[in-house]
Amino acid sequence: MAKADKVSKAKQLRKAPLKTPSSLGENARRDISAELNALLADTFALYLKTKNFHWHMSGAHFRDYHLLLDEQSDEIYAITDPIAERVRKLGGTTLRSIGQIARQQRLSDNDADFVTPADMLAELREDNARLTEYMRKTHDLCDEYNDVATASLLENWIDEAERRVWFLFETGRSV
């Protein structure tokens, strides 16, 4: 192959769409990537809500709740990169902006000026439970396409989310 042909081919590859090869097939790439992107949007929304409540916590149990929410927000944030990278491994593209997150998220924001600690804990408990449901739905889709790698990641994230629900439930009982 001539040097000019090699340079031309290299330029074409650089301009090619982001489409990492995957043995799972086009339908799996499309469907699982879409579900993971929605899950990623929800994860970012839950992360920011958890940090919001962490920053605006008040009351008699301030220190304990403040630290709990800080720990939980770190755990939530820790799964954002693996979700996005899994989309890329499948050959999809992932979220690019806050606007795209806002359009795809299914969990509601909370922009209230004041939220009681009890309401914060209850709202985060419900959001984490919903996130768990979304993860299970995504896991079911992975099972349909035999995507064991994504399913395996989801199993760990489901366990972490269930733990957050448990801690929020038990902590909220004392309020």
pLDDT for residue 12:
60
pLDDT for residue 20:
75
Does residue 4 sit within a domain? no
Does residue 16 sit within a domain? no
Does residue 164 sit within a domain? yes
Please say if the pLDDT value at position 4 is more than 70.
Answer: no
Does residue 31 sit within a domain? yes
Does residue 12 sit within a domain? no
Maximal CA-CA distance, the chain: 75
Does residue 159 sit within a domain? yes
Please say if the pLDDT value at position 16 is more than 70.
Answer: no
Does residue 58 sit within a domain? yes
pLDDT for residue 154:
98
Overall pTM surpassing 0.85 (yes/no): yes
- Give the domain range for residue 36: 24-173
Q: What is the mean pLDDT of residues 134-148?
A: 98
Does residue 81 sit within a domain? yes
Please say if the pLDDT value at position 175 is more than 80.
Answer: no
Compute the CA torsion angle 95, 91, 106, 117 (nearest 10 deg): -70
Number of domains comprising the chain: 1
CATH, residue 66:
1.20.1260.10
pLDDT for residue 163:
98
114-139 burial, b for 16+ CB within 10 Å, e for fewer? Answer: ebebeebbbbbbebbebbbebbeebb
